[in-house]
Structure 1
Amino acid sequence: MGIPKSINSLVSIIVIIVMILPEIAAQSISPSDSVAVTDFHRNIWIFNWVGLALVWNSIWRVASGLVLAGSARFHSEAKNSVEIIIKTANDASETIHNTTGALKGMENKLIEANVNVDNSGNLNSTTQKLDDASATIEEQARKNRVLINNGLKVVFVVTIVIISLNLVTVLAMSVSGILRLWRALYLLVVFCWLMTVICWIFFGVYFFLYKFSSDACIAVGNFQQNPYNNSLSSILPCNELLSAKPILSDFSAGIYNLVNQVNANISAMQGTSYSNLAHVCNPFSGPPEFSYQPENCPYNTIRIGDIPKVLKPLTCSNANEGNCGNVYSISSNEYLRVEAYTSSIQNLLNLYPSMEDLLECQLVKDAFSQVLIKHCNPLNKFSKMVWAGMVFLSVIMVLLVLLWIIKAHHEQHNLLWDGSVEPHFGAQNSLELGSAKEINITTTH
């Protein structure tokens, strides 16, 4: 919202002409016309104040544009940053919810397969705690999003209203001063003082937002370097989450050993008539890391979830009675148990990357990385732009109000001075006229 150079040049020329015009006029008028010169100097003040008003309007538009543009960009950057954080919280909640769903599904399938689930009470308690944690995170994220977005919106809207009211008030005050509407001018001066106070208050608001965003970005940077010991540790318990990682490691080791045992049995079966049986993909590397890397599985292996498809041809409803011809036949009940185990394990494996990211605070790291790279510098820049613009506008308002008060005082003083000297000039002119008549009479005689 900058002002074109041609307009600024024109304003400067007008101001210069207005300023030097009284001097040119004073030199061109004869001393005998001193009263006219005085009136001329007095009236030419109007043009001086018009020039000042034009200059102020140019400065005001630039300063107002600075505040409005900075406020709009700050609002946008802050809103985007909040959305990233809220999305991270929702992703964490969804991961927890999906995990509890998989655990509940495992228990239900095992029960359907007539398998006695050991420690089912502990499993139910764990899933309930996880569900409660998921619901709490989701609810807090929703409340915080509404609260923060409403706060940002209020600050942005009020900023626009303040700038608009300031513009209207100052223009009205300038018009009232030029037209010498003193009562209206005084009322507008009082209102301008009020608007100036509000501008200073909002300078404080944006300065606080500037300092808060700067400190928050520093804290985010420290978190990226050490997520387990920083100023955000009290609200982001990554240490506590990390302490739960051994549970995930035990799960990984258990799946690794189970798959190796299954593959050993398949290798034994391949020595017989079942040579076409495929091995099961082990999604974890060997000890001690047990890293999850399903992408490294050979192309001729199958997933754990596909084991029931391989066992389906070996299923025999009378396997327990020995009526099946295959040596490695399994009963229908055993097949159902295997299906329940393998499908539940596969569901948990599908969630494993998300659970690992959650326990290692990787979700938070990724979110903070986006804020740090994309939004921190703009937040600092635009909040600083707004509070600096507010200071500039407040100073302009103070100077403008003082100038109009001086102008009004000067005009009223001139009116009083005019009323006291005009009779004096009239009496002096009468005396001079009487002396002239006496001279004429004496000369005639």
Structure 2
Amino acid sequence: MPKSYGGVLVPFVLLLISTNMVAQKSLVFGLIDGDDISRRPDPLHQLKSYNGTYNLGDKHYWASAAYTGIHGYAIAGIWLLFGLGFGSYILFKYFHGNSTPIVEYPPSSYILMFSLVVLFTILAIVASSVILAANNGFEHRVERLRQTIFDAGGDTRHTIRRVIKVLLNMQTLLSPYNSQADQMLNVTTHRLRRGSITIQQFVDKTRHTSNEAIRTLYVANIVVVTINLVLLVTALVLLVWHWPLGFIIIILCCWILTTLSWVLTGFDFFFHTFAEDTCSALEDFQQNPQNNSLQLILPCAESGTSDKILVQIGSTVHNFITQLNSKLREVQGLGSNDIGENSSGTRGVCDPFSGAPNYIFTADLCPKDTIPIGELKYVLSRVTCYGENSTGNCAGEGRFIPQASSVILFAYTQSIQDLIEIFPDLLSLTQCSKVKQAFANILQHQCRPFRRSARILWSSMLSLSIIMVLLVLTWIVKAHQETGRSFDTCSIIPKSA
């Protein structure tokens, strides 16, 4: 190898080795940190450990996750500084007239360098094509995952609003007769409103932030890779036509694009880390919803407290219907057919709850000889003695319940009916059923392709960045090799050779 040829190539080989060492070291530490979020350095806290969990609302989480892509940012900085230094050296030599003496190379060296340029160019084009496909796949996967999570939050919020509406109706019915129930319903509706507002704030904030981040990364990958593809094809054309100035401009532009590709390598690794964190958080949520960072954004009631509340509701409804049926049997014993006799015997009000101690809700298992409590109001209307009727007339018509008592009884029966209707919603909220179903869908059908697309995007961008470093170095050696020589169009070997 001629002396001047080696003098140009050796510094770049050393740079390539050092940058790859930095990449491998940072990659190892990035993977270690990815397995334990709390051990990641936090740039917003003087690079001390994050000491937190997966939390989309915490800027320190985002900063520590973004820091996992430090290998890409660091190599981008080294590559840019080396480019500035090398460019300054070339300009210094050019303006001071220190030209390198022309050295004759054997024809095989021209063929070798041209072959390397073509090889690295083809590899770069292939890597760019993989990036474009992986970029589209990743954007589709993350959008689908985001939508599933937001839909789960939206469904939960709609359920809460439906429950609040029913509770307000119950509060209106019972407030004149039961101040304790009115106060309890008032406290419950306020808590549900706060939960609904928390979910809505999370959805609004995170939807906008995540959409901007994903869209920015998607567009940046497309723009950098597309421009890089155009420059690769242009460089081949200029290399065959042997236009030195245009080739130098291409090298300069590709140097800048290589810097950007290393930056995007860091960002793509950051989103790869985010994909791993997200799926791990969902797995933890499925195992323990109450002790999980997602509890802050999609709150679920504590299992112990919620079970007690549900049992208390079941006990209240069961005892009320039991007493009501007892009274109905007394009335039927007096001979009133309007209260509920049929061909199969005496009917009572359907009790959807089993007895103590669990009070299990079984809405669809009511006996055929019972009626829903909601239909009791029609029975009450037939046996109620209204104000315009005299007591004698009422007795003759079988209307033995005073209007005031009938109104109170109607309020309680309607409230119990409302409570029965929303009990499945209460059960869903306390058990986080819709959220768990959505997350189970993600874990079963989305997490694996989501992780895979993020990994392919990052690894293909890393491959392109390494290939572009090799290609730019080869271009520089090729440009130095052709300096001061005359070529025929589409010729690889110069005329002087």
TM-score under structure 1 normalisation? 0.76
Shift of 1:242: 4.7
- In the alignment, which residue of structure 2 is the partner of 1:15? none
CA contact (8 A) 1:64 1:163 kept: yes
CA contact (8 A) 2:120 2:470 kept: no
Q: Give the distance between the partners of 1:329 and 1:48, measured in 2 at CA.
A: 110
- Which amino acid in structure 1 is aligned with residue 262 of structure 2? W
CA contact (8 A) 1:219 1:230 kept: yes
CA contact (8 A) 1:177 1:404 kept: no
With 322-331 and 337-346 compared, the bigger mean Cα shift is at 322-331
Decide which of 132, 135, 141 is 1:71's aligned counterpart.
Answer: 135
- Which amino acid in structure 1 is aligned with residue 163 of structure 2? T
Q: CA RMSD in A?
A: 2.9
Identity of aligned residues (%): 33
Shift of 1:160: 0.9
Q: Give the distance between the partners of 2:170 and 2:135, measured in 1 at CA.
A: 52
Shift of 1:122: 5.0
Decide which of 388, 406, 426 is 2:477's aligned counterpart.
Answer: 406
- In the alignment, which residue of structure 1 is the partner of 2:455? 384
CA contact (8 A) 1:49 1:178 kept: no
Q: Give the distance between the partners of 1:226 and 1:115, measured in 2 at CA.
A: 41
Q: 1:299-357: per-residue Cα shift (whole Å, max 9, x none)?
A: 33221211102222112215784541256622333333333322232222222112112
Change (3 A) 1:49 1:172: farther
Shift of 1:196: 0.9
1:317-396 equivalences under 5 Å are: 317-318=386-387, 321=391, 323-325=393-395, 329-396=400-467
- In the alignment, which residue of structure 2 is the partner of 1:82? 146
CA contact (8 A) 1:281 1:301 kept: yes
Q: Give the distance between the partners of 1:183 and 1:139, measured in 2 at CA.
A: 56
Q: 1:59-88: per-residue Cα shift (whole Å, max 9, x none)?
A: 334322211121211111111111111111
- In the alignment, which residue of structure 1 is the partner of 2:21? none
Q: Give the distance between the partners of 2:229 and 2:265, measured in 1 at CA.
A: 17
Please say which structure displays the higher CA radius of gyration.
1
With 369-378 and 247-256 compared, the bigger mean Cα shift is at 247-256
CA contact (8 A) 1:223 1:232 kept: yes
- Which amino acid in structure 2 is aligned with residue 90 of structure 1? G
Q: Secondary structure of the equivalent of 1:288?
A: coil
Q: Give the distance between the partners of 2:114 and 2:483, measured in 1 at CA.
A: 19
Q: 1:235-291: per-residue Cα shift (whole Å, max 9, x none)?
A: 555464652442232111000111111122223333324233631111111111111
With 312-321 and 211-220 compared, the bigger mean Cα shift is at 312-321
Shift of 1:412: 1.1
Shift of 1:231: 5.9
Q: Secondary structure of the equivalent of 2:401?
A: coil
Q: Give the distance between the partners of 2:390 and 2:255, measured in 1 at CA.
A: 96
Gaps of 5+ in 2: 1-102, 487-497
Q: Give the distance between the partners of 2:181 and 2:354, measured in 1 at CA.
A: 29
CA contact (8 A) 2:383 2:398 kept: no
Change (3 A) 1:322 1:57: farther
Change (3 A) 1:116 1:264: closer
TM-score under structure 2 normalisation? 0.68
Change (3 A) 1:170 1:61: closer
CA contact (8 A) 2:279 2:443 kept: yes
CA contact (8 A) 1:50 1:178 kept: no
How many residue pairs were aligned?
A: 375
Decide which of 260, 263, 288 is 2:357's aligned counterpart.
Answer: 288
Decide which of 260, 264, 267 is 2:326's aligned counterpart.
Answer: 264
- In the alignment, which residue of structure 2 is the partner of 1:215? 277
Q: Give the distance between the partners of 2:473 and 2:408, measured in 1 at CA.
A: 89
- Which amino acid in structure 1 is aligned with residue 414 of structure 2? S
Q: 1:363-400: per-residue Cα shift (whole Å, max 9, x none)?
A: 32212111100111001111111111111111221121
Q: Give the distance between the partners of 1:352 and 1:124, measured in 2 at CA.
A: 18
Q: Give the distance between the partners of 2:390 and 2:208, measured in 1 at CA.
A: 62
- Which amino acid in structure 2 is aligned with residue 213 of structure 1? A
Q: Give the distance between the partners of 1:137 and 1:76, measured in 2 at CA.
A: 24
Q: Give the distance between the partners of 1:400 and 1:320, measured in 2 at CA.
A: 104
CA contact (8 A) 1:214 1:380 kept: yes
Q: Give the distance between the partners of 2:358 and 2:160, measured in 1 at CA.
A: 24
- In the alignment, which residue of structure 1 is the partner of 2:231? 169
Q: 1:2-23: per-residue Cα shift (whole Å, max 9, x none)?
A: xxxxxxxxxxxxxxxxxxxxxx
Q: Give the distance between the partners of 1:118 and 1:400, measured in 2 at CA.
A: 79
With 321-330 and 157-166 compared, the bigger mean Cα shift is at 321-330
Change (3 A) 1:126 1:230: closer
- In the alignment, which residue of structure 2 is the partner of 1:440? none
Change (3 A) 1:219 1:110: closer
Q: Is 1:303 the counterpart of 2:365 in the alignment?
A: no
